[in-house]
Structure 1
């Protein structure tokens, strides 16, 4: 997953900023590798030193680049959260290869996908609350609904489309197109619960997954029954409505 093609400007209030950061980031193999180095270094330092204890200068040093070069790709430490989003999708998708290969059962695949995300995110749990609090602000580019977050969001929705398409479940026609996005929204709910879960080994989040997956699976199966088609249609229409609302609130009015 990659960030938007435009490189961010540095934060003028940040004492570590480079005074002349580049305005754009060329999309070349070398620039992609550098960006990946910076993200990997940041995530490593977040695990070792915590979010608060990690500075952009330390990230740059760990990645083997100058501070100015780090700001060339990310305008602030907060923007590295986009790198976290991307990494979680990458790790979850990789783990799901085996999960999806071993079962066509919808519930088993859904449970496996959620547990894969949980395993990938576990090292970051201690400081997750802080950057998720930033991302929860409706007008923040780090919101999971923002345009800047679209690569990770689209990747996650695509994963759920693969989950559905490879399963044996029959999805009602009215719900089929929007179900991957609904499952992504369901995952966001699980993530929000996980952020606040202080139980050992995130036991409560695992209990939440174990109890809600069968419920979701049952609802999906019911969507193919004629009596549930009106409800499925209304659900799909609601997703379309909310999608448009989020776009206008987070990204602002679109031209045209």
Structure 2
């Protein structure tokens, strides 16, 4: 990751380069955008652009980080707006809906990233080492969503649940990328209808006949994740 610029002028230059890149991604797509074009659009030299972002991949990582910061702020505001309601379904719905809201302005060119992000070896993959900060920040949002809720599950499941909910969010993101309905209405409907079902399934994990299966699932998740 590129270090955060130390001065206000540096922060403004970095932001201008990122804004220029996003404009070009919209109009020319990811593959059709060059670092030289980004520099020209931002009104800086190519060397200056490379000083802040060593590649197009780093520009996209900066976009991921920016989007994640915006989601964290929107999610915190949405949870605060629940006025003390602790129902997990309300909190999860608020967090997922907040993501759809803040990401909506980028929907038109999100697909240009997806074909690159879907490649397992790509640094743009949400599972890559380069994406670790954004991924961990997203998991933390789900941890806070769970911790402030009335949800009661086993200790083992609770430890893994924030990351499992992030994986659920990735599924929503994939659906959203392909959603061509106005204002991504179908994605919003997916969130609205899926959240109560997820809430009910999680609460069922405390039923004795289900608990053993849950323990097996948690064990499988941990073995797949590795040390």
TM-score class, shorter: 0.7 to 0.9
Q: TM-score, length-normalised on structure 1?
A: 0.77
Match of 2:79 among 100, 112, 116: 100
Partner of 1:15: none
* Distance in 2 between residues matched to 1:50 and 1:94, nearest whole Å: 30
Partner of 2:145: 163
Match of 2:191 among 186, 209, 215: 209
**Residues 57, 123 of structure 2: 8 Å contact kept:** no
Partner of 1:81: 60
* Distance in 1 between residues matched to 2:215 and 2:15, nearest whole Å: 41
Partner of 1:29: 6
Aligned pair count? 221
Q: TM-score, length-normalised on structure 2?
A: 0.86
* Distance in 2 between residues matched to 1:58 and 1:127, nearest whole Å: 17
> Structure 1 residue 148 and structure 2 residue 130: aligned?
yes
Secondary structure at 1:191's aligned position in 2? helix
* Distance in 2 between residues matched to 1:179 and 1:139, nearest whole Å: 26
Note closer, same or farther for the CA distance 1:242–1:84 as it changes in structure 2 (3 Å cut). Answer: farther
Secondary structure at 2:123's aligned position in 1? coil
Deviations 1:89-141 (A, max 9, x none): 11111111222112322111111111111111111111111211100101111
Q: Which moved more, 1:97-106 or 1:139-148?
A: 97-106
> Structure 1 residue 180 and structure 2 residue 159: aligned?
no
Partner of 1:91: 70
* Distance in 2 between residues matched to 1:68 and 1:236, nearest whole Å: 49
RMSD: 2.4
* Distance in 2 between residues matched to 1:234 and 1:153, nearest whole Å: 25
**Residues 106, 163 of structure 1: 8 Å contact kept:** yes
In structure 2, list runs of 5 or more residues that go unmatched.
none
Match of 2:108 among 106, 122, 126: 126
